[in-house]
Chains A and B, each alone.
Chain A
Amino acid sequence: MSLEILLVGLVVPLILYISAPYWWRSGWWRMPRNDLAAPLRERVEMIERQIAELEFDAGAGKMSAADLESSRARRLIERDRLLRQLERLGGMLARPLPPPIRRNRRCEECGNFCQAGYRFCAECGTPLKPRPVILSTERAKLARGKIIRLN
């Protein structure tokens, strides 16, 4: 078998494969496009992770409670803005939106983390301070820079 025959034997399948988009009718041959929802969703997930890490750091004593609250509030506002953008994209979402966070709260007296919805600390019985809640129904107002705080 000479070099020429080998070349032809390689060239034919090569050309067939490279030209496949022109002779093989398939939905696969469309222009790759960025999934518009994906970066927003990933950003939301990243903020979730950052909040989890902040709470973790605060629990480990690396951050004061005031720093934690301010950092968390900033991220929650950003997260909400992204969720609104995701809602606008609507049908383009491949996965359901992440549910709103109902984080466990920390008792200011003993430092114990209490389940969401608890009004008293399960460890020491101290009343837990209500935390600002951002309602999803008020997102339109958030867009105008207003935060509704329900105590």
Chain B
Amino acid sequence: MDVVSMSESFGIACVILLMPTAVFSLCVTWVGHRYRDARLFRSGLNAAHAVGGLLVLAFINAAFNGIATRQLSWWALGEWLAASPCVWLSLLAASHLVCLMRSQARLANHLHLINAVVMLVVLFGTLFMWQADPLVSDAYRMGHALTEGTLVGLFTGPLFFLGSSSATVLFALTIAGLVSRDMDERWVQSLREWLLACWFWVSVWSLCFLYQQYTVAGWEGVFVGDSMHRVMLILWLITSAFLHSIILQERRGMWRLWNVALAILTFLFALYGTFLQLRHAVHGQTLDVPCGVALGLTFVVSVILVLRRRRMLASRQACASLYSKEGVLLINNIFLVGGCAVLLLGLILKPLLALLMPIGFVLLLLAGFGPVMAWHRADSAALRRTLRWPICIGLGALGVGWGLGLREWRTLTALLVGSFTLAVTLGEFVRGAHVIRREPPTASASLPLQLLHRVQRRFGGYVVHVGLLVMLIGFIGAIYRTESTAQLRIGDHMPLHGYDLKFYGLHQEADPDHVVGTVGLFRDGQLLSWLYPMRMGDPATALQNTPAVYHAGLFDVFATLQQFDFDAQSAELRIQRHPLMKAVWIGGGMLILGTVLMVWPRRLATARVVLGASS
């Protein structure tokens, strides 16, 4: 028996054993918990570990098989990673094991329920493993243009699956809390941890996806074009709303029902996104009906469970006034979930999508009001005092923009809202520094570190807000994108905003489908760079058009091969100049940094504060 057959048999053996092991784990853990039989219970947990092991073995085997036998390139491997149920389930099993480890002492009464939910999802996922063979799917050829030329393409798929796995664990925790009627502070804390993980992976995945679309597939600012974009944005909005609303449950015992609803929605959209991601790999899309049934069943069961526990989920306190932090968080949630509704309704009524920009501005404005509001009821005098300067700065920025001749309403609104929110956020840092400075010097740590020790989560959140503002600069810059198209023959020139492009002809790569143009980018007679825009396969498909990019300071220059006549060596070139897009990636980096600051282990920081105060 050769290596290939052995590898295929090994993969089949893993999948055959996977289903009974998952069923065994589900049942035995439940029975062990019911009869308080420690050995039985531990056997069930060991079976859950074994499920993880089998999935990892199946994944390694499939990757080995793909690389060894079909001579896949690393870029095609990226596409496989994005469409493989093996990768999804392996990452889900890994997240589940982390959750089990962290919950041993914290949520002992929830373990069997968490395990049951995750095992059910694994059992459903194995259906894909039976039907899908991503290694021979058309996904490679279709998606080759998406993955070629950038390392980011290798990570987009696994990043989404990490987000989806975190959402599954989040859902499992929610169901466990509902069934066991035990939703204490430790449960909320665990929920928040997994929510942050989900939000983080979804954010990083969105950034990678955007980068991929921008640099490789020639993204033209059409952000909500296809289903995957839409799911990505919806997931990000829902998890953002949840991140804000869970603060209220943690601090004041409010919005428990709303938070449970958001957890269920997060899972449903993550599962839908996973199905969309995997559908490329499934021949004939035969799993569409089971996927729909699974989503529907999950929704119905969750709703029934929530209705049965509605009294337990009632808020302990009411919102006393809208003029408070609770009020701002309420409006924030309404707009974030409203954004999701607009995205969904946009499927039917496309003009509704125009509302997304105003919703974004309102959310940024709320990011400015939220930090300065007090809990319960804000002090009007203090608020006026705090907001005086940010409002002046916002109006000043608006005046400067108007004076400079800017008349685009989105730019002017962004200037007003952005500078107001930035001023409030930076003001919070300054006020925090003043508070720390007024205290006697007890620690040798620097000022930013002391600030983080005192109010770590809050300042991590502020860094995220600043990151979003920086990203806004990039998105506003996209309004000022310029482009020109020209039919060029060898030796022809094409001017664009101080740059000069010279066409040097077309050639074919090893694959006859790949036609590559050679363009020289000049400035003041000096060659800046060679650009190689590529077109492959069917000329009518935009996805198969890979532009060449030149990064020049604040601007990016794109060259795209629109049409060509290979025999005549002539091509229709489209040249685009994107200003300020780098701000999106810098803002994305700040967003990641802020999240890391939020999740940095808190115990050390807290212990130091307590000990420092008492010494």
A binds B: yes
Interface positions of A (Cβ within 8 A of B):
1-3, 6-7, 10-11, 14, 17-22, 28-35, 38-39, 42-43, 45-46, 48-50, 52-53, 56-57, 59-64, 67, 98-104, 111-116, 122
Tell me the nearest residue of chain A to B615, going by C-beta.
A99
In the bound complex, CA of A83 to CA of B493 (Å): 79
A32 touches B104 (CB 8 A): yes
Q: Known interface pairs A60-B434, A60-B435. Does A42 touch B614 (Cβ–Cβ under 8 Å)? A: no
Residue from B9, B186, B440, B603 within 8 A of A114 (CB atoms): B440
Is B50 in the interface zone, CB < 8 Å from A? yes
B17 touches A7 (CB 8 A): yes
Is B379 in the interface zone, CB < 8 Å from A? yes
Question: Chain A residues near B47 (CB, 8 Å)?
Answer: 18
Tell me the nearest residue of chain B to A114, going by C-beta.
B440
Tell me the nearest residue of chain B to A99, going by C-beta.
B614
In the bound complex, CA of A111 to CA of B434 (Å): 11
Is B407 in the interface zone, CB < 8 Å from A? no
B438 touches A111 (CB 8 A): yes
B379 touches A63 (CB 8 A): yes
Q: Mark B604-615, 1 if CB is under 8 A from A, else 0.
A: 001001110110
Residue from A10, A61, A116 within 8 A of B14 (CB atoms): A10
In the bound complex, CA of A126 to CA of B108 (Å): 54
Question: Chain B residues near A114 (CB, 8 Å)?
Answer: 440
Is B10 in the interface zone, CB < 8 Å from A? yes
In the bound complex, CA of A104 to CA of B441 (Å): 12
3 closest A-B pairs by CB: A59-B435, A21-B39, A60-B431
Residue from B1, B16, B21, B611 within 8 A of A7 (CB atoms): B16
Is B105 in the interface zone, CB < 8 Å from A? yes
B609 touches A1 (CB 8 A): no
B50 touches A31 (CB 8 A): no
Q: Known interface pairs A10-B13, A63-B374. Does A31 touch B379 (Cβ–Cβ under 8 Å)? A: no
In the bound complex, CA of A38 to CA of B10 (Å): 45
Residue from A32, A34, A48 within 8 A of B610 (CB atoms): A48
Closest Cβ of chain A to B376, distance in Å, is 8
B614 touches A100 (CB 8 A): yes
B12 touches A3 (CB 8 A): yes
Question: Chain B residues near A53 (CB, 8 Å)?
Answer: 454-455, 458
B432 touches A34 (CB 8 A): no
A7 touches B614 (CB 8 A): no
Closest Cβ of chain B to A95, distance in Å, is 9
Question: Chain B residues near A59 (CB, 8 Å)?
Answer: 431, 434-435, 438
In the bound complex, CA of A146 to CA of B423 (Å): 46
Q: Known interface pairs A17-B46, A99-B614, A113-B439. Does A34 touch B1 (Cβ–Cβ under 8 Å)? A: no
Residue from B41, B46, B613 within 8 A of A102 (CB atoms): B613
B386 touches A2 (CB 8 A): no
Question: Chain A residues near B54 (CB, 8 Å)?
Answer: 10, 14
In the bound complex, CA of A114 to CA of B439 (Å): 7
6 inter-chain pairs at a CB distance below 8 angstroms, sorted by A residue, are A6-B10, A20-B43, A21-B42, A38-B186, A67-B374, A99-B610
Closest Cβ of chain A to B379, distance in Å, is 6
A60 touches B432 (CB 8 A): yes
B109 touches A34 (CB 8 A): yes
Tell me the nearest residue of chain A to B433, going by C-beta.
A60
Tell me the nearest residue of chain A to B48, going by C-beta.
A18
Residue from B6, B38, B108, B609 within 8 A of A52 (CB atoms): B609
Residue from B46, B185, B435, B439 within 8 A of A20 (CB atoms): B46
Question: Chain B residues near A101 (CB, 8 Å)?
Answer: 610, 613-614
Question: Chain A residues near B606 (CB, 8 Å)?
Answer: 45, 48-49
Those of B350-392 within 8 Å (CB) of chain A? 372, 374, 379, 382, 385-386
